[in-house]
Amino acid sequence: MSLDFQVTIAAMPRSSTSSLRAGTRRSVACGLCTANCGLIVTVDDNRIVAVRGDRDHPVSRGYICPKGAALGQIQTASDRVPCPQRRLPDGGWQDVSWNSALDEIASRLAALRQSHGAEAVAFHVGRAGIGKEFIGWAERFAHVFGSPNFSSCGSQCKWAYEMANHITYGKLAIPDIVRSRCLLFWGDNPEQSMPVRKRLIAEARSQGAKLIVVDPNRNRMAADADFHLQLLPGTDATLALGFLHVVIAEGLFDRDFVQAWTVGFDALAARAAEFPPDRVAAVTGVPVDLLVAAARAYGSTRPACLAMGNGIELHHDGVQSARALACLQAICGNLDVLGGSVLTLKNRLTPLVPPVSPGPNGEVPAAIGAREFPFFHELRGQAQANLLARAVLDEDPYPVRGLVISGSNPLLQWPGVERLGEAFARLELLVVMDTSFTETTRVADYVLPATLPFERDEIWDTILVGGEPRLGLSAAAVDRADARDDRYLWSELARRLGHSEWFPWETTRDALDQRLAPLGVDAEELARRGPQGIIYADRVERAYEAAGFKTPSGKVELSSGVMASRGYDPVPGPVVPESGPDFPLILTSGARSVGYTHSRYRNVPALRRLQPKPLLSVHPDTAAAAGLSDGDIGVVVSSEGRLRVEVTLADDLVPRVLRMPHGWEEANVNRLSSARLDDLDPVSGFPCFRSLPVRLEAAPPLSPAGH
């Protein structure tokens, strides 16, 4: 056993806020999304009664989004889980103590491991855990338990384009927006997904930076851009190759960088030559003149940055689309330079995750999805959650009998939810830890109440916002009776299952001290530094000149030998499956809303008012062809199912494209999606949420029974 992260065990208490006086003001990092904006909260009687942006925060500088402003309502939401719940045989619920719930869960986990093997239990952490400390604890527990089947929302978000970055140059690149002279936002709408970036964009624009937006939607940022390329969903790889065609054909690339620091340029140039602007325009719907002008603007401007969003990766060829863009920013000399895309730097925290403990025979079974998506598994070390239902229902690659979920709502967020519901019903044990009741908690055997980010101590890191390597600690601002930090779940299960030596900390602060030790600071001091935190690494431009890139060749791999060795096309190229005449339209789903984080916070009145119900956005011509008017009920039909939803007319879309938000129980758009292998990206296993072939019909009248 590794001894680099060990102390002694006891039950882990929550952070205490009992010493707060009435009207106490606290500086916190919001924690509801990746931005971790700085807020000043006023606490009275253990309740957040006022919130304002923290002007001293070095990144957000006083900015506050609707979610941050609603922290008090989020804290006191009426449907928060009040205490541990156990499902009764008749389907009802019984309140139980934490000790009883954990004793029973641990006993049932031990029985499953004994009878079916540790791999028969899967563990999943959702978006609520990304960037939070407890995701590492959950993965640590899964590995010590002996299961290779830990997964996260990385099965559907961010890791596809991160994989593309790693394949191409070994690290994730982050746009350095403020210092850039040309901003290219591709499938990324920060106004909804990370609104703190709006200030960075405005600052760059005030200094004369050009703005290029590639998005099927004419959102507000697109309307304000110098160039808006409104492509058909799922044609990103073709459009990216069109950019590469113009840049290479017109000699706009950085010849010195390409010659010294890339491999495979000739192969990339040959592929790009197959995509002249007229061919690209015919496929993507982007006019030739606009494509050429935008490509010239990006290719001829130094430095230029490129922001890839979730909108690029949720297609059949998401990884290859992101690969094409990674190649584009590299050959244009915009890699690892200020104002371009800077490579991520390590925060040097002591890692949490040990190797998976072998089973009784000394072997570790392969994780779910490792066979089908080996590259995803090798780079991420996780199971591919989109294949979990198959493991339960078809016992492929082996039967899964138990599942523990922390901070996720798969029945609203994952593809193929009809089949997933069948799988959850067949499990012998389903445990869900969450802050509020959800569609997924309602089918669980045990529901455990979790804390919100501002109810526990959390480390924050700003590098994903604008590339600055700044890290700090936000101390708990309020307490929540009977809720627990998710770290408590994993440490207590470990103690009950005989794995105490792997979770040896008396308090969360002890664990944080161990994590922070390489930085020469403890949790108390880091919390005291407030929003300034610490800068944990020095930014050096073109660090590759001294160390090379973290790829097999040590250079940017425009043609990837690693991809070729796995049977994938080594050069980026599009994969556009035929939709067929039955499904002539394209549905793009899953776009973010600034008031919600995926399926979360619809229980908050102030946020619900921003988007009170699910709506299907349809171009007026498309609606008229289906016999629909604004406010009518339409039916969207895919190869997977049918969905009734209210129609709203939207002339910001092209006629062939429909748009619908996700995360709504009233109209769950993921009932139209699929988790079959043929419908997932062959490299990442990501679903095709943003380019679903569908048709639109008028809804028949409901029967008297409402069916």
Taking the C-alpha atoms of residue 691 and residue 695, their distance in angstroms, rounded to an integer, is: 12
Provide the number of structural domains found in the chain. Answer: 3
Does 31 share its domain with 179?
Answer: no
Name the amino acid, one letter, at 196.
V
pLDDT for the residue numbered 19: 45
CATH of the domain at 679: 2.40.40.20
For the whole prediction, is pTM greater than 0.85? yes
- Cα 466 to Cα 205, 334, 470: the distances in Å are 15, 15, 10
Does 692 share its domain with 635?
Answer: yes
pLDDT for the residue numbered 568: 93
Does 327 share its domain with 181?
Answer: yes
β-partners of residue 342 are 174
* Residue 55 within a domain: yes
pLDDT for the residue numbered 703: 65
Residue ranges making up the domain that contains 116? 1-157+370-507
* Residue 561 within a domain: no
Does 440 share its domain with 496?
Answer: yes
DSSP for 13-69, please give it: PPPP-TTPPTTEEEEEE--SSTT--EEEEEEETTEEEEEEE-TT-TTTTT---HHHH
* Residue 66 within a domain: yes
Taking only the tens place, the pLDDT of each residue in 632-675 is 999 999 999 999 999 999 999 999 999 999 999 999 999 999 99
pLDDT for the residue numbered 577: 72
Judge residue 98's burial from the number of C-beta atoms within 10 Å of its C-beta, 0-12 exposed, 13-18 middle, 19 or more buried. middle
pLDDT for the residue numbered 355: 77
Residues of the chain with pLDDT under 70: 1-22, 578-579, 703-707
pLDDT for the residue numbered 13: 40
Taking only the tens place, the pLDDT of each residue in 335-349 is 999 999 999 998 999
* Residue 577 within a domain: no
* Residue 471 within a domain: yes
Does 151 share its domain with 179?
Answer: no
* Residue 534 within a domain: no
Does 282 share its domain with 331?
Answer: yes
Average per-residue pLDDT in the chain? 92
CATH of the domain at 286: 3.40.228.10
Taking only the tens place, the pLDDT of each residue in 197-216 is 998 999 999 999 999 999 99
Does 326 share its domain with 392?
Answer: no
* Residue 183 within a domain: yes
Taking only the tens place, the pLDDT of each residue in 269-294 is 999 999 999 999 999 999 999 999 99
